Chains A and B, each alone.
Chain A
Amino acid sequence: MLTRLKTQVPLFSMNSYTKLREKLKLSGLSFASTHSHVIRLGRHSRHNSKMAVCIAVIAKENYPLFIRSVPIQNELKFHYTVHTSLDVVEEKISAVGKAMADQRELYLGLLYPTEDYKVYGYVTNSKVKFVIVVDSSNTSLRDNEIRSMFRKLHNSFTDVMCNPFYNPGDTIQSKAFDSIVSAMMVQAS
């Protein structure tokens, strides 16, 4: 009798959990194949440095929910870079018409390059922004890889949001999220 009850009334069934996640994520990760004239050389490049040097999650109101950069480098500089990139994020979001907002791709692409870094952006449907800063010298990362990093980040962020103990708007202190971010920032080779 007890077991039957247990199975019938789960506190938070996996099914609803998945549904919730889907709801949060909605849609939007289709990959348009980009035509490129780049000629790939036969051998795969061995050059493989760090994947990302800075990863940031920024709230809808534009304050940082999470920001982490490679420890050795100038943290402040990354903060400035990420903060300034919000200009472009906002520009890109507003560039898409309101009617198109539903179909808008979450990935915003390269926000702006600097001499040293490339800054990529991604914005969720709830206007939470993800920013990934990649070293300019790191040419092994291609668009698709950046996209998949964002997707992973978004998934993990969704998990954070699903945590009933997380208060939306607070800084993210989830260990799981942190480890996902760390994995993106460690050396790939």
Chain B
Amino acid sequence: MQWPLQIIYFSLFTSLYTSLAQQLPRESMEWRRSYGRAPKMIHLEANFVQFKEELLPKDGNRALLTFPFLHIYWTDCCDTEMYKASVKDDMLRWQSTLRLHGSVDWLIVVVESEAKKKNKTNILPRTSIVDKIRNDFCNKQSDRCVVLSDPLKESSRSQDSWSAFLTKLRTLLLMSFTKNLGRFEDDMRTLREKRTEPGWSFCDYFMVQEELAFVFEMLQQFEDALVQYDELDALFTQYVLNFGAGDGANWLGSFCAPVKRWSGLLLRRPIDMEKRELIQRGEASLLDLRSYLFSRQCTLLIFLQRPWEVTQRALELLHNCVQELRLLEVYVVQGALDCWVFLSCLEVLHRIEGCCDRAQLEANCSHTVGLWTYATEKLKSLGYLCGLVAEKVPTSEDLNRTVDLLAGLGEERPETVNSLQSPYKKLNEALSSVEAFEKHYLELSHAAMEMYRAIGRMRSARLIGKSLAEFYMKKGDPERAEGFLDDSLRSYVAEGWRLQVTHTRKQMAECQKLLQQTEDYLQTSALLAGDANLTEEERKHFCQEILTFASQPPAPSGEHTHTTVALSMAAFAQLRQMQFSPPGAVVHVGAALQLELRVRCLMPVAMQVEQLAATLHFSLEQGGARGRAGSAQRRAGHGPQGQGDGVVMFPQGSPLAGAGMGASLPPALELYEMQDRSPSDSSLTSTGVVCKNMHLLLRRHDSSASLDTPTAGALPAAVAVDDGAQMLRARDITLQPGDNSILFTAPTGEPGSYTLRQLCGSVGRVQFVQSHIYPVVQYEVYSQEPQLTIEPLSDNLLAGIPQKVTFTIATGHYSVKKGDALQLSNTDSMPILHSSCCSATVLSKRMGESALSIQSSEKVTSISLPPTPPYHTLEFQLEVLCHIPPTPFKPDIERLTNGEVRHRPKSHSHVDSGMINIDQKVSIDCPWSIYSTLIALTFYVPFKAKHSILSAGKRKYIQVCLQNVSDTNFHLADPVLTERQPTVSMELLSLNVKTQQTLYSLKAEISPPSGDQHCRTGALCGLEVSITRQAEPSETEGEEEESTEIEGLRTTKLMYEVVDNSSNWAVCGKSSGVVSMPVAASATHRVQMEVMPLFAGHLPFPNIKVFKYLPHNAVPAIQPDTDSCLENDTISLLDKGLDDQGDTASIRSRGSVHSVGSGEQQRGLPMPRLEPFSPGQVFYWSQGRQVLVLPVTDDHVMEVNVT
């Protein structure tokens, strides 16, 4: 350290001096500080100075560096006499001198030695001298006097005393230092507070505070030292700012003097004494002061091992100085500051390089790169200033300027004279010649760029690259500029910064023009011509460049062998929308299909386009010959024009899209509904949502992703125009700036699917090509086979009556010529009835009617058709008749007109009406096909006929039922039954006139018990049933009924039965019985029975049933199986009739019926049978009659047993 603390000693033993100076700083002391600052451990170092009165500070002088912090009086006096004689006086004098100078920090050291003690025998005990001294001088501070025993000896005693002394010395020294430092700081603050007073000088104050910094530095308290400089820095900065704001301070005047020297920072010396002196003298310029301040800060920061802070502060300082000089309006020679900054940057970098190793430097590029860039910038501006960036040599004016600038650098400093790479030499060399400048400039630029790249600051690197490109352009070296420009341009386009894109593109255009890259230049020009950020004139200029080229005749020979130049359409025009007319974009072969294209022309002037063509990709996808319906359906599900209006909108993105926004914004999801229908019956098989632009969304986004907008370089190879394909063409159109509408007629020559692939506009030799049209635009052309359909006019065709059917011919691609005829194979079951006045209708845009001539021969009916163009519909009506099949219809046999009999698995039955249908197939030979067309017509049989033969003994009844099952009303007239094979003995009589006769009537009466007016519950009542024969039995009847002759009277046996289903009555006694009825009209039989009502109220009469009672011997006569003709359903009909009477079940269940010959017991034996009467044969008078039953008067429980 240069300035250890000053300790002034009085008569020190020189033998002790060295060890004292060495050992004092060995141990650290805790330094407690004022103002709440954290205590620190410090090592104190001292400089021992022989006492001289003039060394003592004058009053008020508090210069810390020369300040005596501690006074030590050394004595080895051990003799009281001697002490009293001389030492005491000496001490007193010393003390009074100290007091005079206000110094209170002193110490008296008494050195004892055994040797001396032994020599002097009359000495007082050792303590007495010390005590005396303490008594004389240290009235309260006994610690101001220490004893040091035999410091030069190696004994432990002397060691202990020595270290105790050192501790004491340190403590006292630190105490004094702290006290004096505090006082110094207070004084300094006072001085600072006076800064607004006139006459205050910053330089003076600077020196004071710097002294503090020095002291801290000496104590190795670099942080504190740095704070002092930072405070000075801030104070000065604030003054400059205030000065700039008009609040001038006098002392600042010296800093406002014109800058005469710009030699840059000097960081190689710990203290730049030259500059310090300048400051001390108040002659420093602003740059001097700043340089000095920074050099000190730099030194301290490097002590603190914070080199990266140096670089950061250096950059701030340089920026700040430039600003301050501007603010203070200091005159600086043009370029001088650039020199200063350049030199300073390099100086800082050198300084840092000097204290860090390579790895450290590389790892901390981010800290140094700023300085590199700044130096590069400054060198560049110097180069431009001195005419070094040009193709020519510098002018004399440039040279003069260079000389002036170099003069301001002064002589090279001695520190760097021997260094080959010193900033001074570099600048000198760089300004010496164009070549040297280029060398240095490129070196710096590349270094800075490399560093930026290394730390990933690609944008900054590109900015330097761009500035290099500008340099190359100035130098007339566009080849080297191109790469840098291209790189920058790509990044600006990718990130969507429009102004940069425009600016760089303009530079690019210039570069490409120089390089004669015609194609690229035109492409760039096109982009610029459509660039809204340029002025109208500029745009027109670039547009004119294209037009000029376009109108030039192609160069006869040379490097450009191709005569046309293909440019990207994107720069020229934007597609807005396409609209098909008809909107479905599905047409048949040869039909007219128009496509309206709307483009936004980006050029500033109207462009004459000789041809605008869109190439078509043709594919036979899905077989163009498919029917229209299927095709249209598919389109509705999948097609891009699925909206149904045939309009395709081209996404424009954001308004920035022109500048290539697409690259930075992910494209939006384009979702479409997808329906997959089964090809056979168009039922929905699956449905879903499809993302149409998945390939864009899932694309890897890497740096090398090709941009949609061509930037500057060569266009993608796909721009090549393909000629072979079919095209949509529009010729000689004028595209106005803005939206234009162009009409195309689409070729529809062949069936298939046409997809628009490429759009190409030709302007002279220039072609603007859009290689892909997205979203996909396509249309379909189909070819349809002729089709013949036959449909009934009404809902259903009924068999047996003539009805009209409509023949519809969709001609498809076939054109019906004159003489073409439909040949219908005739069939017996379905003759074609034709009248002469048949006419056919040709359906097209206009309706046409023409006559139809029909010739019928035995086998075929020929219908000659009127001539009809393709894709028209021909319609006519014919009357047909289908005979009802004569035999009972066997539904599982189907007849074909050609006589074939085909078996079908199942007959159809009309679901609603139960009508039976006949599929009548018609075989038609059409003129367009060599094969016959089979068309099935379904006829429904409107009737259901049923007949049954009922046998009754010798007689047979034939029942014929005819049921109309159709919706149509029919009138049945004159039904006749005829015989097929005439037989002799058959006679048919109609039964339709005669109805069934009533044979018996039944009458029931319930009479109350005798003496009572009404029936009462629980009381037996009489039931009288009278059975009356109504009519003479007829012959047929007689045969049916088994009659017996008893006593000359013919009787039939009847069985009666009383049944009460509702349990209202209890039949007492016999409930059934057999009666013999005389076979005579009005014969009556009465039966008396007793019944008991179980409930009160109006009770219905019990049921009375009558059966034919057939004795067992009569069985063979009525065996039903004798007649096989009796059909099953007839029996079922009988069964049904029995059921309706509803009593068979009750008879069986009750078990009481068979009172006469119970069937169970006599099973197997011939037994009588019961047979019910046919409906209507028995009339029951009392059906529905009721009788009033009164409740019994006295209520008591009654038990009733019912058997």
Q: Are A and B interaction partners?
A: yes
Contacts of B665 in A (CB 8 A): 61, 63, 169
- B366 contacts A by Cβ under 8 Å: yes
Which of B246, B316, B323, B456 interacts with A46 by CB under 8 Å?
B246
Query: CB distance B235 to A113 under 8 Å?
Result: no
- A98 contacts B by Cβ under 8 Å: no
Shortest CB-to-CB span from A131 to chain B, Å, is 13
Tell whether A171 pairs with B656 under 8 Å between CB atoms, given A47-B244, A114-B319, A136-B319. yes
Query: CB distance A46 to B656 under 8 Å?
Result: no
Shortest CB-to-CB span from A117 to chain B, Å, is 10
Count of inter-chain pairs, beta carbons less than 8 A: 97
Q: How long is the Cα–Cα vector from A161 to B540 in the complex, in angstroms? A: 39
Contacts of A84 in B (CB 8 A): 459-460, 463
Query: CB distance A47 to B241 under 8 Å?
Result: yes
Shortest CB-to-CB span from B658 to chain A, Å, is 13
- A14 contacts B by Cβ under 8 Å: no
One of B165-173, B401-409, B496-504, B514-522 at the interface: B496-504
Query: CB distance B655 to A79 under 8 Å?
Result: no
**Could you tell me which residues of chain A, from 14 to 28, have a CB within 8 Å of some CB in chain B?**
none
Query: CB distance B497 to A87 under 8 Å?
Result: no
Tell whether A88 pairs with B457 under 8 Å between CB atoms, given A115-B322, A171-B654. yes
**Could you tell me which residues of chain A, from 158 to 178, have a CB within 8 Å of some CB in chain B?**
169-171
Interface string of A71-112 (1 = CB under 8 A from B): 000011001100110111011000000000000000000001
- A9 contacts B by Cβ under 8 Å: no
Q: How long is the Cα–Cα vector from A169 to B496 in the complex, in angstroms? A: 12
A63's closest neighbor in chain B, by CB? B496
Q: How many residues of B contact A (CB 8 A)?
A: 46
Interface residues on A, range: 35 or more
B227's closest neighbor in chain A, by CB? A37
Query: CB distance B664 to A80 under 8 Å?
Result: no
A112's closest neighbor in chain B, by CB? B370
Query: CB distance A64 to B234 under 8 Å?
Result: no
Query: CB distance B500 to A171 under 8 Å?
Result: no
B226's closest neighbor in chain A, by CB? A37
Query: CB distance A115 to B242 under 8 Å?
Result: no
Shortest CB-to-CB span from B300 to chain A, Å, is 13
Interface string of B776-807 (1 = CB under 8 A from A): 00000000000000000000000000000000
Contacts of B986 in A (CB 8 A): none
- A3 contacts B by Cβ under 8 Å: no
Shortest CB-to-CB span from A96 to chain B, Å, is 15
Query: CB distance A63 to B495 under 8 Å?
Result: yes
Q: How long is the Cα–Cα vector from A47 to B240 in the complex, in angstroms? A: 11
Q: How long is the Cα–Cα vector from A137 to B238 in the complex, in angstroms? A: 13
Query: CB distance B456 to A91 under 8 Å?
Result: yes
Q: How long is the Cα–Cα vector from A114 to B455 in the complex, in angstroms? A: 19
- B230 contacts A by Cβ under 8 Å: yes
- B327 contacts A by Cβ under 8 Å: yes
Q: How long is the Cα–Cα vector from A84 to B84 in the complex, in angstroms? A: 85
- B42 contacts A by Cβ under 8 Å: no
**Could you tell me which residues of chain A, from 28 to 70, have a CB within 8 Å of some CB in chain B?**
37-43, 45-47, 59, 61-64
Tell whether A63 pairs with B664 under 8 Å between CB atoms, given A76-B503, A112-B370. yes
**Could you tell me which residues of chain A, from 113 to 142, have a CB within 8 Å of some CB in chain B?**
113-115, 136-137, 139
Contacts of A64 in B (CB 8 A): 496-497
Q: How long is the Cα–Cα vector from A59 to B663 in the complex, in angstroms? A: 14
Which of B463, B495, B503, B656 interacts with A62 by CB under 8 Å?
B495
Query: CB distance A63 to B497 under 8 Å?
Result: yes
Q: How long is the Cα–Cα vector from A10 to B661 in the complex, in angstroms? A: 39
Contacts of B227 in A (CB 8 A): 37
Shortest CB-to-CB span from A50 to chain B, Å, is 15
Contacts of B656 in A (CB 8 A): 63, 171
Contacts of B322 in A (CB 8 A): 115
- B458 contacts A by Cβ under 8 Å: yes
Query: CB distance B459 to A83 under 8 Å?
Result: yes
Which of B237, B245, B496 interacts with A47 by CB under 8 Å?
B245
Q: How long is the Cα–Cα vector from A76 to B661 in the complex, in angstroms? A: 19
A36's closest neighbor in chain B, by CB? B234
B234's closest neighbor in chain A, by CB? A38
Contacts of A41 in B (CB 8 A): 238, 242
Query: CB distance A137 to B326 under 8 Å?
Result: yes
Q: How long is the Cα–Cα vector from A63 to B322 in the complex, in angstroms? A: 32
Shortest CB-to-CB span from B253 to chain A, Å, is 19
Q: How long is the Cα–Cα vector from A35 to B794 in the complex, in angstroms? A: 100
- B315 contacts A by Cβ under 8 Å: yes
Contacts of B661 in A (CB 8 A): 63
Contacts of A171 in B (CB 8 A): 654-656
Q: How long is the Cα–Cα vector from A169 to B661 in the complex, in angstroms? A: 11
Q: How long is the Cα–Cα vector from A114 to B235 in the complex, in angstroms? A: 23
Contacts of B460 in A (CB 8 A): 84, 87
Shortest CB-to-CB span from B485 to chain A, Å, is 14
Tell whether A137 pairs with B327 under 8 Å between CB atoms, given A37-B227, A47-B245, A76-B503. yes
Q: How long is the Cα–Cα vector from A62 to B500 in the complex, in angstroms? A: 14
Shortest CB-to-CB span from A168 to chain B, Å, is 11
- B828 contacts A by Cβ under 8 Å: no
A137's closest neighbor in chain B, by CB? B323
Query: CB distance B497 to A113 under 8 Å?
Result: no
Tell whether A39 pairs with B327 under 8 Å between CB atoms, given A79-B499, A114-B319. no
A110's closest neighbor in chain B, by CB? B316
Tell whether A79 pairs with B497 under 8 Å between CB atoms, given A112-B370, A169-B654. yes
Contacts of B456 in A (CB 8 A): 87, 90-91
- B277 contacts A by Cβ under 8 Å: no
Q: How long is the Cα–Cα vector from A136 to B319 in the complex, in angstroms? A: 8
Shortest CB-to-CB span from A65 to chain B, Å, is 10
Q: How long is the Cα–Cα vector from A75 to B664 in the complex, in angstroms? A: 23
- B247 contacts A by Cβ under 8 Å: yes
Shortest CB-to-CB span from A173 to chain B, Å, is 10
Shortest CB-to-CB span from A4 to chain B, Å, is 42
Query: CB distance A113 to B315 under 8 Å?
Result: yes
Shortest CB-to-CB span from A84 to chain B, Å, is 5
B231's closest neighbor in chain A, by CB? A37
Contacts of A139 in B (CB 8 A): 237, 241
Q: How long is the Cα–Cα vector from A116 to B1038 in the complex, in angstroms? A: 140
Q: How long is the Cα–Cα vector from A78 to B661 in the complex, in angstroms? A: 20
Query: CB distance B235 to A39 under 8 Å?
Result: yes
Which of A37, A87, A90 interacts with B230 by CB under 8 Å?
A37
Shortest CB-to-CB span from B378 to chain A, Å, is 9
Shortest CB-to-CB span from A115 to chain B, Å, is 5
Query: CB distance A79 to B459 under 8 Å?
Result: no
Shortest CB-to-CB span from A80 to chain B, Å, is 6
Contacts of A61 in B (CB 8 A): 495-496, 664-665
Q: How long is the Cα–Cα vector from A47 to B138 in the complex, in angstroms? A: 60
Shortest CB-to-CB span from B222 to chain A, Å, is 15
Contacts of A86 in B (CB 8 A): 459
Contacts of B458 in A (CB 8 A): 87
Query: CB distance A80 to B245 under 8 Å?
Result: no
Contacts of B318 in A (CB 8 A): 115
Q: How long is the Cα–Cα vector from A43 to B327 in the complex, in angstroms? A: 19
Top-6 shortest CB links A-B: A63-B496, A87-B457, A47-B245, A61-B664, A38-B234, A79-B499
Q: B residues near A, CB below 8 A?
A: 196, 227, 230-231, 234-235, 237-238, 241-242, 244-247, 315-316, 318-319, 322-323, 326-327, 366, 370, 374, 452, 455-460, 463, 492, 495-497, 499-500, 503, 654-656, 661, 664-665
Q: List 7 A-B contacts (CB under 8 A).
A: A45-B245, A76-B503, A80-B463, A86-B459, A91-B457, A115-B318, A115-B322
Q: A59-B664, A63-B665 are in contact. List 11 more A-B contacts (CB 8 A).
A: A45-B245, A61-B495, A63-B496, A64-B496, A76-B503, A79-B497, A84-B463, A87-B452, A87-B458, A113-B316, A137-B327
